[in-house]
Amino acid sequence: MNQNRRSIHKAFLATAATLLMGSVSNLALAATAEDLTRDANDALQTMYKSNQTALAISKKAKAILVFPKIVKAGLVFGGSYGEGVLMKRGNVAEYYNSVSASWGWQAGAETYTYVVFLMSDKAVNYLAKSKGWELGVGPSLVIVDAGVARNLSTSTLKGDAYAFITDQQGLMASLSIEGTKISRIKKR
The pLDDT, as a whole number, for residue 134 is: 66
The pLDDT, as a whole number, for residue 115 is: 92
Question: Are the C-beta atoms of 79 and 101 separated by less than 8 Å?
Answer: yes
Percent of the chain at pLDDT above 90?
29
Q: Tell me the pLDDT band of 160, cut-offs 50, 70 and 90.
A: confident
23, pLDDT greater than 50: no
- The letter for the amino acid at 49 is K
Q: Which of 39-48, 69-78, 112-121, 137-146 has the lowest mean pLDDT?
A: 137-146
Ranges 32-41, 135-144, 160-169, most confident: 32-41
Cα–Cα distance measured from residue 124 to residue 40, given in angstroms and rounded to the nearest whole number: 18
Residue 184: which residues within 8 A CB-CB, separation 6 or more?
94, 95, 96, 132
Question: Are the C-beta atoms of 171 and 112 separated by less than 8 Å?
Answer: no
Mean pLDDT, residues 36-64: 93
- How far is CA 103 from each of CA 143, 168, 170, rounded to the nearest angstrom? 21, 21, 19
Domain locations in the chain as residue ranges = 2-185
Mean pLDDT, residues 77-82: 90
Q: Exposed (0-12), middle (13-18) or buried (19+): which is 176, by Cβ within 10 Å?
A: middle
111, pLDDT greater than 70: yes
Mean pLDDT, residues 80-104: 91
Q: Exposed (0-12), middle (13-18) or buried (19+): which is 24, by Cβ within 10 Å?
A: buried
133, pLDDT greater than 80: no
The pLDDT, as a whole number, for residue 86 is: 96
The pLDDT, as a whole number, for residue 140 is: 54
Q: Tell me the pLDDT band of 42, cut-offs 50, 70 and 90.
A: very high
